[in-house]
Amino acid sequence: MYIAEDEVRELLTYEALIPAIRQALIDFSAGAVDQPPRMILRSNHTEGANNGWFAVMPVVYGDVMGVKTVTFFRGNAELDPSVGLHTHMAAIELLSRTTGEPLALMDGRLITEMRTAAVSAVALDALARPDVRSLGILGAGVQARSHLQALRMVRPGLADVRIWNRTPEKAERLARDVSSFPRSQNRDLGHPNNLRATRIEDAAAADVVLTATASPTPILSGRWLKPDALVIAVGAVGAQLRELDDEAVLSSFVVAESRQAAEREAGDIVLSGARVRAEIGEIVSQLQNGPGGFERPNGRILFKSVGMAVEDLVAARLVWRARKS
């Protein structure tokens, strides 16, 4: 069974994905997921930031096993739009854990996009203060769009949305596109005037700041952040790439999906010398145990996401089950 991206789009919803991701993160931190570090190979077809990579991500969890192959070629963003190539592309093979039978092969690009946003939504729900109202987004690509939907599903009060991009026209286009959605699709945005393209300093001064760029060097300065900001960093995956400067990282309580993965693969962590203080699965588990399980630290919090195979697996399982029903 092959499931193409168009069908994945029809079958996978954030309503189902966010709780599934939440449970998978809890189980990962509890040791219930068999997931080795991903293997990453550079294409070495060119030098510099456009040097692409290829990763293999196997995992065993619950009643299924799977492997994701994913590529990231930053230079694709600079190609003629008529070429139609994304920077990220992927495929996921889903297998039965009990028999080894291949269950489905599916396109993984949209799954990667949606599971990343779903992980961020889980982190936002667990780590943000109840009264957060403003969201600053650095970047105006695929992840910016998906995060707009997923984050406001868990925190609909985020009505003040500020978008920055290195190319201002892209930020303005995203703000126009989202503001022009039918009201039924745009119910959590508030008045369209609350979503706008802006300067990077204004976006960085929001209650919650999302960095979702392919920048190989820091774009977010700690001096712009509020003292109690929550930063969700999902771009710049690679030990030599970073979106945040030292002040932004070292002034924050650092949370990640996986200590091992973040301290191995995230340049924001590796290059600043920071250490992960907690995994998001540990925090969510503590919160589920009732009041007092997790006490939000005073000051800034940074959630650094690098992506894990178990997140892709639970999304693929949702798609496969929906396809069977």
| Domain range summary for the chain, segments of one domain joined by + | 2-111+310-324, 129-307
Superfamily of 2-111+310-324 according to CATH: ornithine cyclodeaminase, domain 1 (3.30.1780.10)
Q: How far is CA 141 from CA 38, 42, 218, 230, 235, in A?
A: 25, 23, 18, 21, 11
pLDDT tens profile 94-138: 999 999 999 999 999 999 999 999 999 999 999 999 999 999 999
Structure tokens at 274: 């920071």
The type of residue at 3 is: I
CA 130 and chain centroid, separation: 21
pLDDT of residue 1: 84
Residue 50 has pLDDT above 80, yes or no: no
- How many other CB atoms are there within 10 angstroms of residue 38's CB atom? 19
Sheet order of strands, 64-72 included: 2-3, 102-107, 88-96, 64-72, 53-61, 39-42
Q: What is the pTM of this model?
A: 0.92
- Which CATH class, in words, describes the domain spanning 129-307? alpha beta
49: confidence class by pLDDT, cuts 50, 70, 90:
low
pLDDT tens profile 147-195: 999 999 999 999 999 999 999 999 999 999 887 654 434 444 444 448 9
pLDDT of residue 185: 42
